[in-house]
Structure 1
């Protein structure tokens, strides 16, 4: 990536071809496919109205290569007449522009591939992950001139990690319990020897203890040894609340819950106490969740993860008392759930491979390459999905399936078109039964991700036959697994404005359309949501959707009275402050929708942890989101989260809300804030390690805010609130570094290990970490690593943080003369200022 232009309109790529074959590369019968998140050569390829990409493509001058937009993020380049052959061992550089910017290595997806007549499509080895050149200048890592972000140096990171809190207290349990009383650390209960779990009918909850420790399980207490009592108690007022009492003198632990879920959360708190040693102090915990809805969203459509990965995620969710797993099972790039009777959804829609017709698979996207062996392909069989549901049920986690419609539906559309072609010559009724498109729709459009054909048609009856079929089959799977389906999520987001403007079938519905394309789209979305809501209602379900799925315009939702469902849930995600749509969350709640706080600025874990080209993730909302940012989210006071623009320019509340908070409506019905949810969209998640890296440890910060309302959240003075919040963060971060990350290590969860900070301290480098308790290693050659005091002689020193179990490390960062000099200059400048102040005071006194 060469540079981003100052105005943020385009960025410049340079691609170097090096022919290592035994013969020349001529301009005959080959094509290279590659991926870009932004329109390549948009000035030439994109139509003037921006509604489509030109089918003839654009020939790059001087090199005679034609670039074409295939669909989505897939592009191709092919030689034209006049292409000059590339000789053996020859090199050639080509350059081209793409829209907007690229400031991260993951902005350029890997696995470019080549096709040629008579040969199978092959990945070009040199484009496998890690093939993007280094980012060495601000022109590369700044999106535009006004971008305030630079990659952190060890010293800037040191300042971010530094604390002035001299009395950091470890948290007993994460998420923090509502109340801990009668705590006496001098009185300890040693849970060793003969330990009995005493309960009746709580085998599932007791198993979380007996699976971890060699405890007995019985309906009667032991006459000697330690007894851990589990029971249901109606005096607990919250459905998921519990009490936990440790009594060393009686050698007992007593856990009460109003429900089995409450008992499980008490057991999880006990497991947390035991994870730091089997001797636990006398205490009483009274605890209950802040929100009923405490969720984690996983996009398995863009890139797939196995059932085992989801099970490990659910283990951690139960450990930290999260109770909703929102599975994004279908999108443009993939369909991931087997549906009985619609085998094409998985035979075609679950696979990505090189294809001219898409009869066997979807075309590659997001770096998936030309075959179906990567994370771009995969699905859950009916039995595997039932297994996921059973696993979730044992952990009191509700699974919420999402089938994204009417936009983001290309995988379903292509699969049903393959089905149509299969049956069209023998049985036209069967062929058209589940068809999702109007073949006479001549509307031209591009979705946000540049798909030209990803919108289900809301004006044909077969669309609703398809949705009815899918909902029925999902409900049956849930019923068979003993995990009843409660909420069906229909998606609803990001439908292109012009997707249906020229649909013959929509014209035949005799809507009295008025206004522009956006108005037509909204009117048809209104119709679509009513039809889908009616289907879910007949199945006894609640319905959920992304906030723009219910958007009537001007920040207001469709009239909720037109839905018969008991509850309609809306994920409020679009709070990029300068875009002005943060108001939707409170507008929707005031209108009667159950709102799930899903805000992209704090709760989207597909974003990088740092503003660094080496960090994985997209950054369309904030430039980065670390665990600290998620931790300090204020779900009860949305507008107090206003901080900066996407470019890092500071914002005040008045900048966003205007005079008298006119643009920021107040929350009048707080009872309609159902809860909050973290999100992992998977465009850049190409492996299991990528998956864990992006979710953890941010999930723990999510759990903390979803379960526990901290006292500092209610402080109105912002300075005082920030100080108290930082003290709470210090405790939280230290607990992660000394206890919780070890627990994740023991589960095989490869969380992100944050790079260390470093500051000059005389002739040594003083390191620190985001999570105190983690250790730092250093090297002078990036090969041999040492622990202990880090000497600094002026030559570069390499630093890395070790994981809690010592088996993994962070990425390596360099402490160099340049950054050290910058720190010395800053220190010298500060010294001069202080001396000047003291001198000025002295002169005044005299």
Structure 2
């Protein structure tokens, strides 16, 4: 009987698809998918140029103008039964062509449709659709690919020239539209500006770099002789576990060190360490003529000592390293990278490569962001909908088979918008991390950023209700059906983006997920020690301070009807009940209340630490109200908006503060101020390796002397509060516009190395925190910037002459720095941020490239293109040009 039903259904579907109307619609879709689409940003200061952004409801009355141009190179299309779906991280506020309308669907998904006034797309002509967006668009990655066409009964198709990661194929150059405001003080990174910026970083000779270890040890004594490893090494790794031994051997082999005769011994001798060096990860390293000996405080110390020896291995020339003695211990207990695989999925292989590099640079915490609104990325036995539906995105507007398309995934599930780690995958990742002394901290974000889970559990609910299993259906449901709150999250999801914190079924879900993930950790032999609750951004953006109510509008803010806006869960009967019972003061406190409740579940499972983004716990009195032994907070206030002071509040409330500031260590932000770079930039316009290297994470006010705010202006920083000190440092890679593994690695590396330097080593130019000490950018001169610049020159030279080549060997698709260049008196001068890198130039438009030699600068004329090449010669940087 079942087969008969399937046959009947299939016949019905085929009938629909073969109907004349469906065939006509498919022809329309096929035709529009071959249009050439162009997106041009025309005015980022629309409010200053006659547009009433406030009246349009723009946050802080800020909006920009753009033009979408559709060019039809084929026959005329007059049919109105079509829709173009597209992804935009900016809300579209107005369409200035009455033949078209734009509707926001959910998240970043919008649709463009014809109105009754639509007259068609004429043959061999272009149609312009001017639009107004909220905020500004300053980098090309603000425009998201894979616009697609759909129609009833037809297969949706991507507009061909938008089906690319090469955004220049459909996005016009920004030109002068790179400034956020008219008086933006940032410096556009042209070839000339970059040359000036790099000019104080001199090339050091290899003898000067001899014996340099990355990250920098506490104390090193470099001896006069070298040790030749060309005959190979004889490794005694008995102090390490078998899997750690294999990891070390793999690294030796990767760097070209063969098995041989030079002894490398390792021992654990905790009693040899005292004071602040008697900590996990501490080691001593002796490299002598006859042998090398690593003595570790513990197994981690042995592992790190061996990584220091490996750090010295040259990538070219003779296999010689300096004889030396080093004594070392980590600066912070917590040294982390956070990877978001929720917004866009990243492969298991990319994760394993990341763990390899974390180990090489002594980072020990992998913060794994496994869920978000746009995707659920880990298999949970017993809850198949989480991956069957929550891990996939496709063109199913009912969301019965997948989530809505988001963030450039288009209508299909064949890209990194979809994907998940099987239970076996996750266990493999855990084992790999364990071998490299890395703790894996899973994050399941809640109560906000939970839409993938919510929609998946609604599908489960519907399935079981149809089976007549009402009790089972309700067991893990995450929505309160009575909740009609009109609320919009930071990334434009409605109430389905919030798990309801007042339901027993939500707690059931949390306990189920924690338990299943904990079991995976147990099977991998890497116990689950820290549970990351998430907790961030549980709010309605339209109740933020950048909007004003239409009844009594304030100047400079977006005018909306605030009476129609609700706080999250405001109309949930379940939440109203617990407020009435006195369990929580009001709906604003629900996120922190839920964090406390989850901490009890975490504690009950024997997990000692809970972690969260700071804002998720902001309404809790202090760390003592949570059930776990420790509560870590990822602190993510930007410094120039007061983070230099508010960070103290968290530490003084007993939370262990993990410095995670967006303006320094968000790796999804651009490397430099240039529209061709990629990333978000709400916290800063750029974070390059030098800026991260200059970060003083344990004395936040100091950074006012060495950096600027988002608009390139100096700022002042001071705090009168006590500062107990940071527990750790973490860099974050959010993946909204990081769609592929190559893009992931471009954004992470080589910035990861600078993060590791600051997490492991406190530099001499970093000052102790002192309450009441004021730092004024451009005015006070408390920081020894000469020492800082000298330290950076050393570090940059090591990167350029050695570390990038090691990333090549590991198959890492890191960002190659774009060269600086200028022409003086007809002579080309070029440099890079990492001395020692190969620079190439072309005088014929890129047809032929020559290697630049700074000792024999060439004479040039006209336009000259420049680029850097990777040490292995397999990749090149973005090309820039300079005119003679």
Q: 2:194 aligns with which of 143, 157, 172?
A: 157
- Cα shift at 1:761: 3.9
Q: Which runs of 5+ in 2 are unaligned?
A: 1-40, 48-60, 541-566, 770-779
Structure 2 residue aligned with 1:47: none
> 2:594 matched to which residue of 1?
528
Q: CA RMSD in A?
A: 2.1
Residues of 2 paired with 1:743 and 1:319: CA distance?
A: 10
Indicate whether 1:196 and 2:196 are aligned.
no
Q: Deviations over 1:294-333 (max 9, x none)?
A: 0000000001011111000000000000000001000000
2:528 match: 485
Structure 1 residues 201 and 768: CA distance shift in structure 2, 3 A: closer
Are 2:283 and 2:302, in contact at CA under 8 Å, matched by a contact in 1?
yes
Cα deviation code 1:768-818 (max 9, x no counterpart):
00100001111121221112455455411111111122221111111025x
Distance of 1:332 and 1:802 partners within structure 2: 38
1:645 aligns with 2:709: yes
Post-superposition shift, 1:166?
8.0
Query: CA shift at 1:201, angstroms?
Result: 4.9
Q: Following the alignment from structure 2 to structure 1, what is the Cα–Cα distance between the partners of residues 232 and 103?
A: 71
Where 2:796 maps in the other structure, the secondary structure is helix
Match of residue 232, structure 1, among 244, 268, 272:
268
Residue by residue over 1:407-456, the C-alpha shift from the partner in whole angstroms, topping out at 9 and shown as x without a partner, is 00000000001111111121111111100011111111111111112011
Aligned to 1:272: 311
| Separation in structure 2 between the aligned mates of residue 416 and residue 177 of structure 1, nearest angstrom | 50
SS at match of 1:147: coil
Aligned residues: 768
Q: Which string of whole-angstrom CA distances, capped at 9 and with x for unpartnered residues, describes residues 701-731 of structure 1?
A: 0000000011111389836521101100000
**2:34 is equivalent to residue 34 of structure 1:** no
Q: Is the 8 A contact 1:631 1:701 kept in 2?
A: yes
- Which of 620, 625, 629 is equivalent to 2:691? 629
Asked if the contact 1:63/1:94 (under 8 Å) is kept, the reply is no
- CA spacing shift, 1:418–1:765, aligned 2, 3 Å: same
- Equivalent in the alignment of 1:707: 760
- Secondary structure, counterpart of 1:766 in structure 2: strand
Give the C-alpha shift of residue 594 in structure 1: 0.7
* Alignment partners' CA distance in 2, 1:15 and 1:287: 57
Q: 1:158 to 1:522 in 2, by over 3 A?
A: same
**Which of 819, 840, 849 is the aligned partner of 1:756?**
819
Mean Cα displacement is larger for which, 489-498 or 156-165? 156-165
Please report how far the alpha carbon of residue 198 of structure 1 lies from its aligned counterpart in structure 2 after TM superposition: 2.6
State which of 475, 497, 503 in structure 2 corresponds to 1:433. Answer: 475
| Structure 1: unaligned runs, 5 residues or longer | 45-59, 216-221, 654-660, 818-846
Alpha-carbon displacement from aligned partner over 1:352-396 (angstroms, at most 9, x marks no partner): 111121011000111110010111000000000000000000001
- Alignment check: 8 A CA contact 1:230 1:254 kept: yes
Cα separation, partners in 2 of 1:581 and 1:213, compared to 1, 3 Å: closer
How many angstroms apart in 2 are the aligned matches of 1:704 and 1:93? 50
- Structure 1 residue matching 2:358: 3-state secondary structure: helix
Contact 2:702 2:767 in 1 (8 A): no
Give SS of 1:711's match.
coil
Q: Is the 8 A contact 1:756 1:799 kept in 2?
A: yes
| In 2, Cα distance between equivalents of 1:763 and 1:77 | 51
Number of the residue aligned with 2:35: none
Shift of 1:195: 3.4
Q: Is the 8 A contact 2:215 2:361 kept in 1?
A: yes
SS in 2 for 1:274: coil
Aligned CA distance change for structure 1 residues 354 and 558 (closer, same or farther; 3 Å): farther
Q: Contact 1:332 / 1:454 at 8 angstroms: preserved in 2?
A: yes
Q: Verify the 8 A CA contact 1:180 1:285 in the aligned structure 2.
A: yes
Distance change >3 Å, CA 456–CA 427, structure 1 → 2? same
For residues 230 and 191 of structure 2, the distance between their equivalents in structure 1, rounded to whole angstroms, comes to 44
Change (3 A) 1:370 1:382: same
How do 1:11-90 and structure 2 match up within 5 A?
Answer: 11-21=64-74, 23-41=75-93, 60-90=95-125
Cα-to-partner distance string for 1:229-279 (whole Å, 9 max, x where unaligned): 11111213222111110121xx11111112111111011111111235532
Partner Cα distance (1:39, 1:343) in 2: 33
Alignment of 1:552-563 (within 5 A): 552=619, 558-563=621-626
Aligned equivalents of 1:175, 1:558: Cα separation in 2: 38
Partner of 2:484: 442
The answer for the alignment partner of 2:20 in structure 1 is none
Paired residue for 1:783?
A: 847
Write the distance in 2 (CA, Å) between the matches of 1:211 and 1:151: 42
Distance 1:631 1:748 in 2: 24
- Offset of residue 136 of structure 1: 4.7
> What is the deviation of 1:61?
5.0
Which residue pairs with 1:172 in the alignment?
Answer: 212
Q: In the alignment, which residue of structure 2 is the partner of 1:207?
A: 246
Question: What is the distance in 1 between the residues matched to 2:202 and 2:101?
Answer: 60
Shift of 1:521: 3.6
Question: Could you list the per-position Cα deviations for residues 586-621 of structure 1 after superposition, in whole angstroms to 9, with x for gaps in the alignment?
Answer: 111111001100011100000000111100101010
Question: Which of 424, 448, 462 matches 2:465?
Answer: 424
* Mapped partners of 2:414, 2:745: distance in 1: 21
The answer as to whether partners of 2:745 and 2:814 remain within 8 angstroms in 1 is: yes
Contact 2:341 2:377 in 1 (8 A): yes
Mapping of residues 726-737 of structure 1, within 5 Å: 726-737=789-800
Tell me the alpha carbon deviations over residues 21-76 of structure 1, each in whole angstroms, 9 at most, x when there is no partner. Answer: 4x4222421100011111101xx6xxxxxxxxxxxxxxx45442121000011100
- Tell me if the contact between 2:85 and 2:110 (Cα under 8 Å) persists in the aligned partners: yes
Residues 723/715 of structure 1: CA separation in 2 closer, same or farther (3 Å cut):
farther
Question: CA separation in 1, counterparts of 2:328 and 2:692?
Answer: 22
- 1:507 and 1:164 map into 2 onto residues whose CA distance is 61
**TM, length-normalised to structure 2:** 0.84
Give how far 1:697 is off.
Answer: 0.6
Q: Give CA deviations for 1:730-755 in whole Å, capped at 9, x if unaligned.
A: 00000000000000000000110011
Query: What's the secondary structure of 1:765's corresponding residue?
Result: strand
How many Å separate the matches in 1 of 2:754 and 2:597? 38
Contact 2:203–2:835 (CA<8 Å) still a contact in 1?
A: no
CA distance in 1, matches of 2:883, 2:229: 50
